[in-house]
Structure 1
Amino acid sequence: MVKLRLKRYGKKQQPTYRIVAIESSFRREGRAFKEVGIYIPKYNKTQLNVPAIIELLKNGAQPTSTVKNILLRAQIVV
C-alpha cells in the first residue's frame, strides 16, 4: 500500500520534512516513489505539489495522520 508520509531532513534540533509517496513497508528514510511537498515545522511553512497529491489520493494512496492534518490546513480535500 502506498502512503503519503513525512521523510525527515535537516540538522539536529532543526528538522525539515519532505512529504513523499512511499510503500508502507519501507522505512522512514527509504526510497520514495515521488516527493510531493515540503514541511518546515519551525516556521510552520508548507510547499505542496497539489496536482500530484490529488492524483496520488485518487489512485489510492493513504496519508498518515500528520500529513492528513497538513493537507487539511492547506484546504486539500482528503
Structure 2
Amino acid sequence: MVKLRLKRCGRKQRAVYRILAIDVRYRREGRDLSKVGFYDPITNQTFLNLSAILDFLKKGAQPTRTAHDISKKAGIFTE
C-alpha cells in the first residue's frame, strides 16, 4: 500500500518536510517512490505537484492526516 506522508529534512530547530509517495513498509526516512512536494512550517510555504498527487490518489494512495490537511489547504480536497 502506498501512502502520501511527510519526511523530515533540514537542520535542528529548522525543520522542512518533503511530501512523498512511499510504501507503508518503509520507515519515515526510507526509500520513496516519488517526491510530490514540500512544506516549510516556519515560513508557511508549500509546493505541491498537483498532477503527481492526483495520479497517486487515483491509484489508491492514502494520505496521512497531516498530508491530507496540507493538501486540503491547497484545494485538492473539498471536504
TM range (shorter): over 0.9
For structure 1, list consecutive stretches of 5 or more residues without a partner in the other structure: none
Please provide the CA RMSD for this pair. 0.9
In structure 2, how many angstroms separate the alpha carbons of the residues matched to 1:2 and 1:8? 18
In structure 2, how many angstroms separate the alpha carbons of the residues matched to 1:3 and 1:76? 16
Aligned length: 78
**TM-score, normalization by structure 1:** 0.97
Structure 1 ranges of 4+ moved more than 6 A: none
Task: Calculate percent identity across the aligned residue pairs.
Answer: 54
Q: Given the alignment of the two structures, is residue 25 of structure 1 paired with residue 52 of structure 2, yes or no?
A: no
Q: Given the alignment of the two structures, is residue 59 of structure 1 paired with residue 22 of structure 2, yes or no?
A: no
**TM-score, normalization by structure 2:** 0.96
- Aligned to 1:25, the other structure's residue is in SS state coil
